[in-house]
């Protein structure tokens, strides 16, 4: 949760708003926003104690629920069933089973959560990255190296301007290069040492907390300095009501836009829920206590630091000459030693935040790959292949495996986003653009989850029996009465952020005009929804869903067990809109009514459904009407074969695989080249 936001965001928000009281108020709203988010996510994590966080929550909240009836679970033994020892409280009791009902048109379109799962998966892979934190490391390291102008609070205006120009004149390409290097180092360390991420998180959490206490302490000391402004020494109290720098760029909407920067500085509170499955379900109190302690401690320190910063500096400290966002050195003399020290502190803090993000995000991306709904998922879902001998229960062995595919994809997308900022003119804008986009996209999903929170009770009843450790305790009347309007207000705030940031004027984090127009935010969100909808309809619209009752005890027999429930997709299987048909691939979604925590895809990835793909060689493949046998194998590559390979199919005959054909052709070219060069050498030696 603690990155570099606290070292730059207070000055940025003050420059955008021009008022100290409003700046502190926006940070107060950000703290309340984090508290409400924490309450919502703790309830989600209690009912759904699995890795994946928002990925699992949004899937379940858009699933349709029928009236539960008491009935046992019947399990049909499958190849992926793993008998695990009854440890850590993970073995599933017998929950209730919902009756099958015909869903409405909207529920049919949502695909029992599949549409939301696909939408969030695409968004997470593309937009949730480490671009901003990586570039912040580069920016602060360059500030430390290049800052050799020894100025103080008593230096001349020309000297102060020269120092402030350093921040503005930093080489943006070098920032990107250092950011990519830092990103690569952490990804490699976590790849070869799974415990590195966890150990580094614990160590840097203490260090970052100490840095924040130190920043607050020097801020308290700075408030005792005597500064005369306009001939008055009691300017501090009056300055909280003054509006500075109103040059026609500000409006009521501008203040709301500053909230996006505030929310980004608070971002990270949700990281623990992304890996909640690493905490046993019967120890939810560990997550709860740690979550509350972290959010409250960091939030209170944020407010205290912002308050002492605003009480210690003047508007001119930030705006004389070039705009200066690096306020911590101003609290400690603003000499070269102070600026370099705080730059190093901020870089270390950013490094810790980068490590935490990579650790959690890579595991969510691996879970997305394990669902096998995106092309080439077999690479995204991979664990590393390093053999280790972990101590502890066998079901916890995955904690000692690095998410190889998730780390690689996270690195690739972060590098792409960092490179995409090359067109930005300002340093701060280039650094913050990836973070702004991620925060904006996340606000959309937070709004959806806030509304879905009202569906959590019915999901809880359908998934878990009374008395289960994953059932929540009932809240009192007053708590319920306060929670309802609070969550509605929370959802409305997220909606307001989505709308207001698209309206001009557009200001960057330093208060200057932004090259990144605000309408790009909703354009990206709209593009995400269009792409995910098209992908879902064209590839999974024809996929039927089947629901089977499962039995925890295979020897237990139930008279007259109900038939499996089957629901057709929203697109006809033989329709031209079903793109899987063109590749001769059929997909079926098999979903369990409840979470069977003996299955790896449940206790590790939090998913109670699986996608089953069939090709003509499979016995489950259903041939079109009039064709009851496999077609004659083609003698060359066909269009369906190419499509199957293009989207990551793995069961193509090597003779028809484009990759194998290309490799064979290239080997032949190299062999002929070597033969030709060998003959030429032989002739030259003879002559």
pLDDT tens column, 208-245: 999 999 999 999 998 887 766 666 666 777 788 888 87
Q: Return all residues near 521 (Cβ < 8 A) that are at least 6 apart.
A: 436, 437, 440, 498, 501, 502
pLDDT for position 683: 66
What is the β-pairing status of strands 609-614 and 586-592?
A: antiparallel
Residue with the two structure tokens 């003996």: 598
State how far the Cα of 15 lies from the Cα of 244, in Å rounded to an integer: 9
Stretch 308-337: mean pLDDT? 81
Average pLDDT of the chain?
Answer: 80
State how far the Cα of 563 lies from the Cα of 548, in Å rounded to an integer: 8
Stretch 23-35: mean pLDDT? 94
In the structure, what pLDDT confidence band is assigned to residue 593 with cuts at 50, 70 and 90? confident
Measured from the Cβ of residue 35, the count of other Cβ atoms closer than 10 Å reads: 17
Q: Return all residues near 56 (Cβ < 8 A) that are at least 6 apart.
A: 48, 50, 606, 607
Among 262-271, 356-365, 420-429, which range has the highest average pLDDT? Answer: 356-365
Q: Return all residues near 469 (Cβ < 8 A) that are at least 6 apart.
A: 89, 281, 282, 284
Cite the beta strand spans of 516-563 per DSSP E. Answer: 545-548
User: Residue 621 above 70 pLDDT?
Assistant: yes
Output 101 or 500, whichever has higher pLDDT. 500
State the DSSP code for 617: T
Q: Residue 505, preceding bond cis, omega within 30 degrees? A: yes
pLDDT for position 93: 45
pLDDT for position 396: 65
How far, rounded to the nearest angstrom, does the alpha carbon of residue 259 sit from its chain's CA centroid? Answer: 20
State how far the Cα of 152 lies from the Cα of 164, in Å rounded to an integer: 12
Ranges 194-198, 326-330, 375-379: which has the least confidence: 194-198
Is residue 179 exposed (0-12), middle (13-18) or buried (19+ Cβ within 10 Å)? buried
Q: Are the CB atoms for 126 and 72 separated by under 8 Å?
A: no
Q: What percent of the chain has pLDDT over 70?
A: 76
User: Residue 253 above 60 pLDDT?
Assistant: yes
pLDDT for position 177: 94
Nearest Cα neighbor of 498 from 553, 557, 549, 439 is 439
Tokens at residue 343, please?
Answer: 């730059």
pLDDT for position 70: 40
Among 33-47, 495-509, 603-617, which range has the highest average pLDDT? Answer: 33-47
- 599: β partners: 81
Q: Return all residues near 588 (Cβ < 8 A) that are at least 6 apart.
A: 543, 544, 545, 546, 611, 612, 614, 620
pLDDT for position 322: 55
State how far the Cα of 415 lies from the Cα of 418, in Å rounded to an integer: 5
User: Residue 41 above 60 pLDDT?
Assistant: yes
State how far the Cα of 207 lies from the Cα of 213, in Å rounded to an integer: 10
Output 386 or 529, whichever has higher pLDDT. 529
Nearest Cα neighbor of 23 from 313, 223, 294 is 313
pLDDT for position 240: 86
pLDDT for position 72: 37
| DSSP assignment of 116-152 | HHHHHHHHHHHH--SHHHHHHHHHHHHHHHH------
State the DSSP code for 511: S
State how far the Cα of 614 lies from the Cα of 610, in Å rounded to an integer: 13
Q: Are the CB atoms for 397 and 390 separated by under 8 Å?
A: yes
Q: Are the CB atoms for 415 and 687 separated by under 8 Å?
A: no
State how far the Cα of 114 lies from the Cα of 561, in Å rounded to an integer: 27
Q: Return all residues near 362 (Cβ < 8 A) that are at least 6 apart.
A: 187, 190, 403, 406, 407, 409, 410
Measure the CA dihedral 558/65/601/96, to 10°: -30
Q: Return all residues near 537 (Cβ < 8 A) that are at least 6 apart.
A: 570, 571, 577
State how far the Cα of 607 lies from the Cα of 119, in Å rounded to an integer: 16
What is the β-pairing status of strands 586-592 and 545-548?
A: parallel
Among 266-280, 312-326, 496-510, which range has the highest average pLDDT? Answer: 266-280
Stretch 391-402: mean pLDDT? 69
Among 31-40, 276-285, 323-332, which range has the highest average pLDDT? Answer: 31-40
Angle in degrees, 0-180, between the axes of helices 131-146 and 157-168, rounded to the nearest 10: 140
Measured from the Cβ of residue 217, the count of other Cβ atoms closer than 10 Å reads: 13
pLDDT for position 369: 92
Sheet architecture: strand order including 565-567 = 565-567, 545-548, 586-592, 609-614
Provide the whole-model pTM: 0.84
Output 71 or 665, whichever has higher pLDDT. 665
- DSSP3 helix / strand / coil % (the chain, rounded to 5): 60, 5, 35
Q: Quick: pLDDT tens for 129-176.
A: 999 999 999 999 998 888 765 544 444 445 444 444 455 567 888 999
Stretch 199-207: mean pLDDT? 89
Stretch 275-303: mean pLDDT? 88
Stretch 361-382: mean pLDDT? 91
Output 390 or 419, whichever has higher pLDDT. 419
pLDDT for position 633: 62
Stretch 650-663: mean pLDDT? 64
State how far the Cα of 475 lies from the Cα of 464, in Å rounded to an integer: 18
Q: Quick: pLDDT tens for 551-569.
A: 544 445 555 655 667 888 8
The radius of gyration computed from the CA coordinates of the chain, to the nearest angstrom, equals 29
| DSSP assignment of 182-243 | HHHHHHHHHHH-HHHHHHHHHHHHHHHHHHHHHHHHHHHHHTTS---BTTBS-HHHHHTTPP
pLDDT for position 526: 96
Q: Quick: pLDDT tens for 90-134.
A: 444 444 444 445 567 888 888 889 999 999 999 999 999 999 999
Write b or e for each residue in 645-661: b if 16 or more Cβ atoms lie within 10 A of its Cβ, otherwise e.
bebebeebeeebbeeee
pLDDT for position 668: 82
State how far the Cα of 519 lies from the Cα of 501, in Å rounded to an integer: 7
């Amino acid at each position: 949760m603690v990155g570099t936001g606290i070292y730059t965001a207070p000055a940025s928000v003050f420059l955008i708003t021009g008022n100290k009281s409003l700046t502190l108020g926006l940070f107060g709203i950000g703290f309340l926003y984090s508290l409400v988010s924490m309450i919502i996510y703790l309830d989600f994590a209690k009912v759904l104690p699995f890795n994946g966080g928002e990925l699992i929550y949004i899937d379940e909240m858009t699933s349709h629920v029928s009236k539960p009836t008491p009935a046992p679970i019947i399990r049909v033994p499958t190849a992926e069933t793993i008998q695990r020892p009854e440890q850590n409280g993970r073995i599933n009791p017998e929950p209730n089973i919902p009756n099958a009902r015909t869903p409405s048109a909207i529920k049919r379109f949502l695909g029992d959560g599949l549409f939301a799962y696909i939408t969030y998966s695409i968004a997470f892979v593309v937009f949730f990255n480490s671009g901003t934190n990586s570039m912040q490391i580069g920016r602060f390291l360059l500030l430390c190296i290049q800052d050799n102008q020894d100025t103080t609070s008593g230096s001349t205006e020309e000297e102060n301007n020269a120092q402030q120009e350093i921040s503005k004149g930093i080489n943006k390409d070098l920032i990107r290069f250092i950011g990519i290097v830092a990103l690569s180092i952490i990804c490699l360390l976590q790849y070869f040492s799974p415990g590195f991420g966890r150990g580094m998180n614990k160590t840097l959490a203490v260090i970052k907390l100490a840095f924040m206490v130190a920043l607050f302490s020097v801020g308290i000391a700075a408030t005792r300095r005597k500064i005369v402004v306009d001939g008055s020494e009691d300017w501090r109290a009056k300055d909280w009501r003054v509006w500075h720098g109103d040059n026609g760029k500000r409006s009521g909407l501008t203040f709301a836009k500053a909230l996006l920067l505030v929310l980004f500085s608070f971002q990270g509170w949700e990281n623990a829920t992304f890996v909640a499955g690493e905490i046993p379900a019967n120890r939810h109190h560990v997550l709860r206590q740690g979550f509350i302690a972290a959010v409250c401690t960091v939030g209170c320190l944020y407010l205290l630091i912002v308050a002492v910063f605003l009480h210690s500096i003047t508007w001119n400290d930030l705006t004389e000459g070039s705009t200066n966002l690096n306020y911590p050195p101003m609290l400690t003399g603003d000499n070269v030693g102070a600026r370099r020290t705080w730059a190093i502190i901020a870089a270390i803090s950013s490094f810790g935040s980068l490590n935490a993000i990579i650790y959690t995000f890579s595991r969510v991306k691996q879970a997305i790959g394990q669902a096998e709904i995106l092309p080439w998922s077999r690479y995204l879902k991979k664990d590393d292949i390093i053999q280790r001998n972990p101590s502890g229960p066998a079901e916890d062995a995955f904690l000692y495996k690095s998410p190889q595919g998730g780390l690689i994809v996270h690195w690739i997308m972060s590098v792409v986003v960092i490179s995409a900022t090359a067109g930005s003119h300002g340093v701060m804008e280039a650094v913050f653009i990836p973070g702004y986009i991620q925060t904006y996209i996340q606000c959309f999903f937070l709004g959806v989850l806030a509304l879905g929170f009202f569906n959590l009770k019915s999901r809880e009843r359908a998934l878990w029996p009374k008395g289960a450790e994953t059932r929540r305790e009932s809240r009192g009347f007053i708590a319920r009465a306060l929670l309802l309007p609070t969550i509605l207000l929370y959802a409305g705030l997220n909606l307001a952020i989505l709308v207001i940031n698209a309206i001009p004027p557009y200001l960057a984090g330093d208060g200057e005009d932004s090259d990144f127009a605000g309408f790009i935010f909703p354009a990206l969100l709209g593009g995400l929804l269009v792409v995910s909808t098209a992908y879902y309809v064209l590839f999974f619209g024809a996929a039927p869903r089947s629901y089977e009752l499962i039995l925890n005890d295979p020897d237990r027999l139930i008279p007259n067990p109900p038939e499996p429930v089957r629901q057709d997709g929203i697109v006809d299987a033989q329709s031209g809109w079903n793109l899987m048909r063109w590749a001769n691939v059929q997909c079926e979604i098999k979903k369990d009514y409840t979470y069977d925590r003996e299955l790896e895809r449940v206790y590790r990835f939090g998913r109670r459904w699986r996608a089953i793909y069939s090709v003509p060689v499979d016995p489950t493949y259903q041939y079109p009407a009039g064709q009851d046998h496999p077609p004659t194998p083609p003698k060359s590559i066909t269009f369906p074969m190419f499509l199957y390979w293009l989207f990551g199919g793995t069961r193509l005959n090597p003779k028809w695989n484009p990759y194998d054909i290309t490799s064979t052709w290239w080997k032949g070219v190299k062999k002929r080249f070597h033969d030709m060069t060998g003959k030429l050498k032989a002739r030259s030696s003879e002559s």
